[in-house]
Amino acid sequence: MEHLRRLVEELALAGYQLDRSAYNYLTGMNEAERTTFARNLLLRIVQKPPSDRILSKTELLEMEMLETSLHPELLPSVATTIPAKQIASDIEVIKDPSKEIGTGSSIEDFSHYFRDRFQKQLGTLRARIDTRDASTIGVALGAAQNEKIKVVAMVMEKRESQRKLFLQIDDLDDNATVLVSPDERGAYEVAQKVPLDQVICVIGVRAKGDLIVAKEILLPDIPDHRPHVADEEIWAVLLSDLHVGSKKFLADALGKVIDWLNLRIGAPNQRFIAERTKYVVVCGDIVDGIGVFPRQEQELAITDLYEQYREAAKYIGAIPDHIETVILPGNHDPVRQALPQPAIPKDFGGPLYESRSLISLGNPAEVSLHGVRLLLHHGRSLDDILSSLPSVNFTQPEKAMKLQLQCRHLASEYGNRTSIAPQRVDHLVIQNVPDIFHSGHVHVVKYENYRGTQIINSGAWQAQTDYQRRVGIVPTPGILTAVNLQTLQVRLINFMES
């Protein structure tokens, strides 16, 4: 009778009711017959909606005669089985900084940190055919004037003079000055966008003094690649920036997401995704927090951190049990601000942890879902990158994320608004090429495929804040991003619409 109840519910959602004759007709069937009948019935209703809202047995029989021609993707399932329940979860945590975070920040750690960053990025560049033979700055400066040279070094300083860019570079042993003229267009464009403290390869010629004239500048970059994909059709829902506790938190929209995941609402093609959703990943800013910026209390509906998590737990706890849920902290969650951040602690986040089983990771983290590798990062450093990238604005987080992939680093510049804790190792280097790179923070939904990696910024569930209005930031809240792990195709569902 469970199936019959679901059919009645689905019909009600579509605006139809069964009269007694129709109900009796259905209860007279056996379970298997009823399942098939129900599936076809819903399909026909989508295809050729009956004019009468109350369906009798006669109408059911008439509809049974109609041919169906819908695409199988649109099959509204009154499924006896929900695909995501049938498929076992396949999740592996590849990297979680939580376990490795030390106290850090001694002078020794600081030099260790940069040495580790340099070595890792040098390793990436050495793996490339075109940069394999790069030398040190010392060797390059020993070359004769006008001789061709190729060095790997870190950008320490950037300045502009008479339309030319000058990069001060350092390879931990020596330093040099690189002159980049706008006439070398490719090199100039890279020099413009390269963040400070980024490791690059400079190809050029030796000039006087400590000067190198650049012909080409290469970032470590990711190779054009074929991503890993899942064997079967399974979807992951990517969320971020819930900001529960803020006056601008969109409770109705997020409530609808939960209803949709529980198959209570949604058009057939949206339901199709919910039925195949095996993972929900929440990439930080779960709550709005307390004291994150001056006078934030004026923007809070819930002024107690624990209560904010208690409210958030109502949503997280209502995600169906068969969906694995991964959470990360953002800059509004109560963990240290410096990257890498540890997982949300149990003392504040208690209600979340009690609400369901969770995979709670630090920021940034890496997981594999059915073999698909995801790099997860809240995205605080996107502010720094977006404000310094020429001809890019805050509505283009995907462009900043693309630059992070090219730099193979999540926050190259040290000492800007994004604080970095100098650990002995640099957790922010992108060592593995991700198949999906997921961030939030900017509150603007955008996605783009870059060399086989699906870049996704998952927007927010908070309407425009007063701060954002003052500085002219227009977010795109209430739009959900879902990704098919078999194809890496992205689908957006707008939960602000009814």
Residues binding Fe ion (CB under 5 A): 241, 285
Q: How far apart are CA 368 and CA 228, in angstroms?
A: 10
CB of 245 to ligand D5M, least distance (A): 12
Q: How far apart are CA 219 and CA 15, in angstroms?
A: 57
Dihedral sign for Cα atoms in the order 416, 419, 423, 429: negative
- Residue 473 binding target from Fe ion, ligand D5M, Zn ion, none, CB below 5 to 8 Å by type: ligand D5M
Residues 6+ apart with CB under 8 A from 414: 196, 197, 420
CB of 465 to ligand D5M, least distance (A): 6
Considering the complex, state which of residue 72 and residue 294 has its C-beta at the smaller distance from ligand D5M.
294
* 441 binding Zn ion? (CB under 5 A): yes
Q: Which pairing describes strands 490-494 and 479-484: parallel, antiparallel, or unpaired?
A: antiparallel
Question: Tell me, what amino acid is at 128?
Answer: R
- Residue 467 binding target from Zn ion, Fe ion, ligand D5M, none, CB below 5 to 8 Å by type: ligand D5M
CB of 440 to ligand D5M, least distance (A): 8
Considering the complex, state which of residue 13 and residue 473 has its C-beta at the smaller distance from ligand D5M.
473
- Residue 276 binding target from Fe ion, ligand D5M, Zn ion, none, CB below 5 to 8 Å by type: none
Choice from 77, 198, 331, 355 touching Zn ion (CB under 5 A): 331
Considering the complex, state which of residue 386 and residue 480 has its C-beta at the smaller distance from ligand D5M.
386
Here the tokens at position 439 are 């961030």
Contact 43, 10 (CB under 8 A): no
Contact 177, 211 (CB under 8 A): yes
Contact 16, 54 (CB under 8 A): yes
Considering the complex, state which of residue 207 and residue 473 has its C-beta at the smaller distance from ligand D5M.
473
Contact 153, 138 (CB under 8 A): no
Which position's Cβ is nearest Zn ion?
A: 441
Helix (H) or strand (E) holding 198: none
* 248 binding Zn ion? (CB under 5 A): no
Q: Measure CA of the first residue to CA of the last residue in the chain; give whole Å.
A: 30
Burial of 326 (0-12, 13-18, 19+ CB in 10 A): buried
Q: Which residue has the tokens 């900084």?
A: 97
Question: Tell me, what amino acid is at 209?
Answer: G
Considering the complex, state which of residue 325 and residue 331 has its C-beta at the smaller distance from Zn ion.
331
Considering the complex, state which of residue 78 and residue 479 has its C-beta at the smaller distance from Zn ion.
479
CB of 335 to Zn ion, least distance (A): 12
Planar angle of CA 285, 287, 288, nearest 5 degrees:
90
Considering the complex, state which of residue 150 and residue 443 has its C-beta at the smaller distance from Zn ion.
443
Choice from 285, 324, 333, 366 touching Zn ion (CB under 5 A): 285
Considering the complex, state which of residue 121 and residue 465 has its C-beta at the smaller distance from Zn ion.
465
- Residue 383 binding target from ligand D5M, Zn ion, Fe ion, none, CB below 5 to 8 Å by type: ligand D5M
Q: Which residue has the tokens 């069964």?
A: 18
DSSP state of 329: -
- Burial code (b: 16+ CB inside 10 Å, e: under 16) for 255-270 equals ebbbebbebebbebeb
Instruction: Please count the residues of this chain forming the interface with Zn ion, following the rule CB under 5 A.
Output: 4
CB of 284 to ligand D5M, least distance (A): 8
CB of 246 to ligand D5M, least distance (A): 9
* 443 binding Zn ion? (CB under 5 A): no
CB of 285 to Zn ion, least distance (A): 4
CB of 265 to Zn ion, least distance (A): 28
Considering the complex, state which of residue 114 and residue 249 has its C-beta at the smaller distance from ligand D5M.
249
Question: Which 311-330 residues touch Zn ion, going by CB under 5 A?
Answer: 330
- Of 7-15, 45-53, 331-339, 420-428, which segment contacts Zn ion by CB under 5 A? 331-339
Considering the complex, state which of residue 39 and residue 441 has its C-beta at the smaller distance from Zn ion.
441
Contact 278, 322 (CB under 8 A): yes
Q: How far apart are CA 492 and CA 473, in angstroms?
A: 21
DSSP state of 241: -
Which position's Cβ is nearest ligand D5M?
A: 293
CB of 399 to ligand D5M, least distance (A): 14
CB of 279 to ligand D5M, least distance (A): 23
Considering the complex, state which of residue 191 and residue 428 has its C-beta at the smaller distance from ligand D5M.
428
Q: How far apart are CA 91 and CA 427, in angstroms?
A: 21
Here the tokens at position 315 are 């949503």
Here the tokens at position 89 are 């979860």
Interface residues with ligand D5M (CB under 6 A) are 241, 285, 293, 331-332, 383, 394, 441-443, 467-468, 473
| CA distances from residue 277 to 78, 122, 493 in whole angstroms, order as listed | 16, 39, 14
CB of 451 to ligand D5M, least distance (A): 25
In the complex, the residues that contact Zn ion under the rule CB under 5 A are: 285, 330-331, 441
